[in-house]
Amino acid sequence: MSNAPLPGPGVTVVIPCRDEAASLPGVLRAMPPGYQVIVVDNGSRDGTAGVAAQLGATVAHEPQPGYGAAVHRGIEASRTPYTAVLDGDGSMDPGELPALVEAVRCGADLAVGRRRPTSNGAWPWHARAGNVLIAALIRRRLGIDIHDIGAMRVARTQPLRDLGITDRRFGYPLELLVRAARAGWDIRELDISYRPRTGGESKVSGSVAGTTRAARDFLRALS
Ligand SMILES: Nc1nc2c(ncn2[C@@H]2O[C@H](COP(=O)(O)OP(=O)(O)O)[C@@H](O)[C@H]2O)c(=O)[nH]1
Ligand SMILES: [Mg+2]
């Protein structure tokens, strides 16, 4: 792969995916024009990588399982000045990314989405309650004014790499906030809509077990 800068708006969208063949086409179709896309697949058994490639996305394979491992791989592969991350399950709208990109272009170091559910089914109660608690903990510990863990986010690519995030599981978004806050980054939070996933199954907050596993990773990242 050449390292020459790519033409266009200068944004690469990293989409970590495990078994998202059903939702991915809608996500890719909603991408703003000119945005590059890297779908990072680890261990999907439903043909996610084939669907992504067929729809024109670059596909990266990450052998190490975990959300953080996939996101890290995608950020390493990005060749544009800005990198965004969002889920591949259809719960977030790529059409809302340009507002976050604009915030970073205008001076923020990190723009994160604050999820606003569009229906009751979008966010299971245990995940939502956990998120409220974690966000309160982040505000108190880090002194930053955020209300969500920043599952959809945009930053400049090289400074993002330079933060040196080590978590490869579900603590990744929190470790990013911890490191960004400690580095004195200007972090902006913008409202984004949060919908029920459009197909496939939740790997995290759809079950109490998944939420518990993620919460453990979260607390480790915050300690
Ligand atoms: N590459 C990769 N992606 C994952 C893994 N686990 C979850 N994801 C992706 O991370 C995103 C969020 O996961 P999801 O199952 O929607 O979690 P939920 O929103 O809490 O139910 C989705 O795009 C998943 O496909 C994993 O182990 N590897
Ligand atoms: Mg989801």
What does the angle CA 221 – CA 193 – CA 100 come to, to the nearest 5 degrees?
Answer: 70
Alpha helices in the chain (DSSP H): 24-29, 48-54, 67-77, 97-105, 125-142, 157-162, 172-182, 208-222
Q: What is the pLDDT of residue 3?
A: 59
Q: Tell me the C-alpha to C-alpha distance, in Å, between residue 154 and each of 130, 143, 195, 219.
A: 23, 20, 20, 23
Q: What does the pLDDT look like over 61-104, one tens digit per residue?
A: 999 999 999 999 999 999 999 999 999 999 999 999 999 999 99
Quote the percentage of the chain above a pLDDT of 90.
78
Characterize the bridge pairing of strands 36-41 and 11-17: parallel
Q: What is the pLDDT of residue 38?
A: 98
Least confident piece of the model among 5-14, 153-162, 196-205: 5-14
Give the atom of ligand 1 at the shortest distance from the alpha carbon of 206.
21
Q: What is the pLDDT of residue 139?
A: 93
Q: What does the pLDDT look like over 104-145, one tens digit per residue?
A: 999 999 999 999 999 988 888 888 888 898 999 999 999 999
- We find that the CATH architecture of domain 11-222 is Alpha-Beta Complex (3.90)
Is 26 touching ligand 1 by the criterion CB < 6 Å? no
Q: What is the pLDDT of residue 6?
A: 60
Q: Is the pLDDT score of 1 beyond 60?
A: no
Q: Ligand 1: which of 61, 67, 169, 174 to mutate, most ligand atoms within 8 Å of CB?
A: 67
Residues for the chain: how many in total? 223
Domain ranges within the chain, ordered by starting residue:
11-222
Q: Ligand 1: which of 13, 18, 42 to mutate, most ligand atoms within 8 Å of CB?
A: 18
Q: What is the pLDDT of residue 4?
A: 66
Q: What does the pLDDT look like over 169-207, one tens digit per residue?
A: 999 999 999 999 999 999 999 999 999 999 999 988 777
Is 42 touching ligand 1 by the criterion CB < 6 Å? yes
The SS3 of residue 195 is coil
Confidence of residue 221 (pLDDT cuts 50, 70, 90): confident
Q: Is the pLDDT score of 5 beyond 70?
A: no
